[in-house]
Amino acid sequence: MPIWDDVVPPEERALYEHGGWGGVAGFGKKPALLVVDMYTAFVDPAYPYASPDAAQTVTAIRELLTQARASAMPVLYSRAEAARNVAERGRWKGKGRLQPIMARPEAYQIVPELQPLPTESVVVKTAPSAFHGTNLVSQLVVHAVDTVIVTGAVTSGCVRATVVDAFSFGFRVVVAAECVCDRGPTSHKVALWDIYTRYGDVLPMADVLAYMRTVRSGVAGDARVTHVAASHSRGG
Amino acid sequence: MPIWDDVVPPEERALYEHGGWGGVAGFGKKPALLVVDMYTAFVDPAYPYASPDAAQTVTAIRELLTQARASAMPVLYSRAEAARNVAERGRWKGKGRLQPIMARPEAYQIVPELQPLPTESVVVKTAPSAFHGTNLVSQLVVHAVDTVIVTGAVTSGCVRATVVDAFSFGFRVVVAAECVCDRGPTSHKVALWDIYTRYGDVLPMADVLAYMRTVRSGVAGDARVTHVAASHSRGG
Amino acid sequence: MPIWDDVVPPEERALYEHGGWGGVAGFGKKPALLVVDMYTAFVDPAYPYASPDAAQTVTAIRELLTQARASAMPVLYSRAEAARNVAERGRWKGKGRLQPIMARPEAYQIVPELQPLPTESVVVKTAPSAFHGTNLVSQLVVHAVDTVIVTGAVTSGCVRATVVDAFSFGFRVVVAAECVCDRGPTSHKVALWDIYTRYGDVLPMADVLAYMRTVRSGVAGDARVTHVAASHSRGG
Amino acid sequence: MPIWDDVVPPEERALYEHGGWGGVAGFGKKPALLVVDMYTAFVDPAYPYASPDAAQTVTAIRELLTQARASAMPVLYSRAEAARNVAERGRWKGKGRLQPIMARPEAYQIVPELQPLPTESVVVKTAPSAFHGTNLVSQLVVHAVDTVIVTGAVTSGCVRATVVDAFSFGFRVVVAAECVCDRGPTSHKVALWDIYTRYGDVLPMADVLAYMRTVRSGVAGDARVTHVAASHSRGG
């Protein structure tokens, strides 16, 4: 059963299916792995931005990270930074950043389990999307990427905004379901439903890993692409 | 009772309130009215993209439109266009555009009730956000706008993406609740909840109109701004 | 002798060569042809924006256009449109648009010799760069393009701004020297010099055509890429 | 005599004047000061990117900086950073970055004379324009800026690209002539000519300072704006 079925009622799902939404978009040939905002403040429950499931999400992302490096896929991260002034901060309504714990040096650092290699890019962002106000799209163009596998936190916020921008910039977008987390389950599930119906594929991480294992020197093998797409059409 | 309370359970709402999310961001001094994707295919129930409540939404937006013009506020619209090729079309998963009705000349035209004046801008877009791949942000800068009042369709798709971009570009964002509509109520309500907690204000259109009535020659009156913000803190 | 040698003095050229600037960047595997602003007002000498050499430039671009279509390369155009208001118009200092001739219906239409096919994209822009306020980068991503061959008018204005953006978005950039023109030769030559030293290759159109002839179904042949690059290092 | 008169011949200048180009665009009400790429590698003659006149430019910019802070204008900087990989580096043709001196820790730091205050923003960029791949436009929107005073290095490269983007985003643009420098005088002068004819004003720094002295709490005084514009029409 898809993850959103207990929140999105059958009549709404029927309406979208009837309109030809959803289905499988499929993987491309040159994927990148993107890890959105897995810094301490979004993972460690002591911080105001953490999701309850963040620890499991770290473990799941780590598996994708290992495979991405074995497959020589580009791996890119986003994180935030403490703002120096009101313009850098933007118009976020949350007041969590005012809590004293946010002044700790590790607050905005990627968690140790997902530590970027010295050659992997980390874009520093101030908006929800990892594309907004960063050069992420330029880096993906240099890598000749056609598919962005999105992971991280939180599903209904920075992950979703990043998915919408990746889609808008013309990339195929895949979300590995176990590799994203949120503070609240309703927003999490509806974000995945909205993504699935319109912008990209939402797949079990096993399917994403199966695809990634076909990637050698950054390029996907043809046969498996079709197969994985097919397996998704059963589950999604 | 806020519109999302029957979808977002109390414990999730409590979690966000406890984290200091939500509240009132408030209006600025130089607002613009933005009408997102109110073209025939999103309004007329004969088309695959229409929302059930689109007709009432048209009536509601029309009221804001009248006041915006009386207040000499900039008014801007977005709409789509039939794609000439796969690159223009982008990677939308919906198949509604393949239906024969989409070939009618009025399919992509703003509905007559909301017809733009010859001097009002209509940006033509291919992505969810009215900002993506358009010069909307440049036009708002020329107008020296600080507040974007967002209306249109659909709440969880193009409206939400436009809100996230307006917020990311540094504008104050206000959604007039009766002036947005969606195909499905779950996505509609959760989108408004997500916007309210993080990116901008979600207000009854009466509050938005009260604010807009203070605008003369495009500039808001001071006293009323505070008052409207206060009235929202009761309801929101 | 490179085209800029009578304007950029030897000591300035020596300074850049000594600093390791210039040289050959080389073509990639998936090129697109971009035709910037070859609409009537920039070509027909009766209009205030035309370059003296525009007619020859049309002929030259036409040759590239024929080859691009034979090679199944993506072909994209940009043009402007009459502005409906001050925000659409932007802050251009030129007053040429106020001349009565600019009200003719063909003023903003691509000239007949370079007429786009019904399936080719034409982005409508208000800023110098064909990327600014358009979805050009998204279209290039969908086409999986890595190389942008830039042609059109004027060299020091919209062509140069487009080159800088193409470069900034991570694409390889090639300017076919005979396929760009300008109102004044000084700005023209210095623009090409600035592009050559920093952002991309400036090549005789014969070299560009030789490369384009290796492109089949949109993909370049390997052997010729190297060869063309080598021939450029003699001339550039 | 304008700075470009010994490079741009009279007939080319006549052609642009006849076409209604150039003239005075004028200052707005809410200016920001932008300092582009005044980091050690662009200032200290020991580094491959330095301009011969960089030391005088530092002194000139410092005067504007002092006034901007006294006037409570937003002050923003851009700088680069050593790239971690080929995608971050982009497709720059220069090889200067390979020189051992570029590994010194101060290479990418703003020079001490122009040190940003802890509350002033420094955007880190990889492309020529300070807007590309940064959130500069969002910060200017939060500050409600309408005028960007551009200073820094080099005129024909990052300064010019920044000017074109500021103009494209709808801001008034002013270049203080003594506050920009370049490696070669030809590119420097032609860049200023191209900016003057099309995108913004190129003024003696005395005129810019006269305007900035009318700015209190970030807002310009009306009377002086007109006066300064008039004085420029004599000199420009």
pLDDT digits (tens, 9 = 90+) for A27-74: 999 999 999 999 999 999 999 999 999 999 999 999 999 999 999 999
A226, pLDDT greater than 90:
no
Q: Residue A195 domain-assigned?
A: yes
Q: What is the pLDDT of residue A83?
A: 95
Q: What is the pLDDT of residue B9?
A: 96
The predicted-structure confidence for A53-64, as pLDDT tens digits, reads as follows: 999 999 999 999
Cβ–Cβ of A141/C170 closer than 8 Å? yes
Which residues of chain C lie closer than 8 angstroms to B90, CB-CB? Answer: 138, 142
d(CA A150, CA A177): 10
A225, pLDDT greater than 60:
no
The predicted-structure confidence for C93-142, as pLDDT tens digits, reads as follows: 988 888 999 999 999 999 999 999 999 999 999 999 999 999 999 999 99
Q: Residue C122 domain-assigned?
A: yes
Asked whether B202 and B5 are in contact (CB, 8 A), the reply is: no
Percent pLDDT > 90 in chain A is 88
User: ipTM for the complex?
Assistant: 0.94
Q: Which residue has the tokens 């080929």?
A: D86
Looking at the 3D structure of chain B, how many domains does it have? Answer: 1
Tokens coding B126: 């291919």
Q: Residue A82 domain-assigned?
A: yes
Q: How far is A177 from chain B (nearest CA, A)?
A: 18
User: What mean pLDDT comes out for the span A72-96?
Assistant: 95
Q: Residue C123 domain-assigned?
A: yes
Asked whether B92 and A168 are in contact (CB, 8 A), the reply is: no
Quote the Cα angle for C133-C136-C137, to 5°: 105
Residues of C involved in catalysis? 158
User: What mean pLDDT comes out for the span B133-153?
Assistant: 98
Tokens coding C211: 């490369």
B136, pLDDT greater than 80:
yes
Amino acid in the structure at residue C23 = G
Residues 140-169, chain C: which have Cβ within 8 Å of D?
156-157, 161, 164-165, 167-168
Tokens coding C120: 């080719």
Q: What is the pLDDT of residue B19?
A: 80
Contacts of C217 (CB under 8 A, 6+ apart): C72
Q: Which residue has the higher pLDDT, A231 or C134?
A: C134
Asked whether D203 and C168 are in contact (CB, 8 A), the reply is: no
d(CA B121, CA C86): 10
**Among D201, D197, D151, which residue's Cα sits nearest to residue D172?**
D201
Cβ–Cβ of B142/D170 closer than 8 Å? yes
User: What mean pLDDT comes out for the span A81-109?
Assistant: 94
d(CA C169, CA C134): 14
* Mutation for testing the C interface, residue in A76, A141, A143 having most C CBs under 10 Å: A141
Query: SS3 for C36?
Result: strand
Digits of tens for pLDDT over chain C (236 positions)? 799 999 999 999 998 888 889 989 999 999 999 999 999 999 999 999 999 999 999 999 999 999 999 999 999 999 999 999 999 999 999 888 889 999 999 999 999 999 999 999 999 999 999 999 999 999 999 999 999 999 999 999 999 999 999 999 999 999 999 999 999 999 999 999 999 999 999 999 999 999 999 999 999 996 444 444 434 433 33
Average pLDDT, chain B: 93
> A40-78: b or e for each residue (b if 16 or more CB lie within 10 Å)?
bbbbbeebbbbbebbbebbebbbbbbebbeebebbbbbb
Q: Residue B31 domain-assigned?
A: yes
Q: Which residue has the higher pLDDT, B104 or D97?
A: B104
Which residues of chain D lie closer than 8 angstroms to C185, CB-CB? Answer: 12
Q: For residue A84, what are the domain limits?
A: 10-235
Q: Is the dihedral of CA B65, B69, B72, B76 positive or negative?
A: positive
Phi, psi of A58 (to 5 degrees): -60, -45
Asked whether A78 and A35 are in contact (CB, 8 A), the reply is: yes
Cβ–Cβ of C8/D187 closer than 8 Å? yes
B221, pLDDT greater than 80:
yes
Average pLDDT, chain A: 93
Q: What is the DSSP letter of C156?
A: I
Asked whether A22 and B93 are in contact (CB, 8 A), the reply is: yes
Out of D88, D121, D125, the one facing A121 most closely (by C-beta) is D88
Out of B141, B168, B171, the one facing D169 most closely (by C-beta) is B141
Report yes or no: C100 at the D interface, CB cutoff 8 Å.
Answer: no
Asked whether D54 and D153 are in contact (CB, 8 A), the reply is: yes
Cβ–Cβ of A168/C142 closer than 8 Å? no
Q: What is the pLDDT of residue B17?
A: 85
> B199-227: b or e for each residue (b if 16 or more CB lie within 10 Å)?
bbbbbbbebbbbbbebbeebebeeebbee
Q: How far is A214 from chain C (nearest CA, A)?
A: 20
pTM over 0.80: yes
Q: How far is B7 from chain A (nearest CA, A)?
A: 8
Report yes or no: B223 at the C interface, CB cutoff 8 Å.
Answer: no
CA atoms within 13 A on the CB side of D138: 30
Alpha helices in A32-184 (DSSP H): 40-43, 54-70, 86-89, 136-142, 160-168
Q: What is the pLDDT of residue C232?
A: 40
**Among A187, C85, A126, which residue's Cα sits nearest to residue B120?**
C85
Which residues of chain C lie closer than 8 angstroms to B118, CB-CB? Answer: 84
* Mutation for testing the A interface, residue in B11, B15, B47, B93 having most A CBs under 10 Å: B93
* Mutation for testing the C interface, residue in D93, D129, D156, D188 having most C CBs under 10 Å: D93
A181 is catalytic: no
Tokens coding B149: 């009042």
Q: Residue C56 domain-assigned?
A: yes
Q: Can you give D5-44 as a three-state secondary structure string? A: CCCCCHHHHHHHHHCCCCCCCCCCCCEEEEEECCEHHHHC
D226, pLDDT greater than 50:
no
Strands (E), D70-156: 75-79, 121-124, 147-153
Q: How far is D136 from chain A (nearest CA, A)?
A: 7
Residue C110 belongs to domain with CATH number: 3.40.50.850
Q: Residue C17 domain-assigned?
A: no
**Among D29, D30, D64, D28, which residue's Cα sits nearest to residue D176?**
D64
Out of A84, A121, A135, the one facing D121 most closely (by C-beta) is A84
What are the Cα distances from residue A74, in Å, to A67, A129, A134, A139, D175?
A: 11, 19, 17, 10, 40
Cβ–Cβ of C187/D190 closer than 8 Å? yes
Residue of chain D whose alpha carbon sits nearest to that of B142? D170
Q: What is the pLDDT of residue B95?
A: 86
Asked whether C159 and C173 are in contact (CB, 8 A), the reply is: no
Asked whether B151 and B34 are in contact (CB, 8 A), the reply is: yes
In terms of phi and psi (left: phi > 0; alpha: psi -120 to 50; beta: otherwise), the region of C44 is beta
User: What mean pLDDT comes out for the span D44-64?
Assistant: 96
D227, pLDDT greater than 60:
no
Kindly calculate the radius of gyration of chain C based on its CA atoms and give it in whole angstroms: 17
Kindly calculate the radius of gyration of chain A based on its CA atoms and give it in whole angstroms: 17
Instruction: With cut-offs at 50, 70 and 90, classify the pLDDT of residue B227.
Output: very low
In this structure, the number of other CB atoms found within 10 A of the CB of residue C202 comes to 27
| Gap between the terminal Cα atoms of chain C | 8
Instruction: With cut-offs at 50, 70 and 90, classify the pLDDT of residue A96.
Output: confident
Residue of chain C whose alpha carbon sits nearest to that of B144? C87
User: What mean pLDDT comes out for the span D70-78?
Assistant: 98
B229, pLDDT greater than 80:
no
Tokens coding B158: 């193009």
Q: What is the pLDDT of residue C194?
A: 98
Q: What is the pLDDT of residue D15?
A: 87
Q: Residue A4 domain-assigned?
A: no
The predicted-structure confidence for A129-155, as pLDDT tens digits, reads as follows: 999 999 999 999 999 999 999 999 999
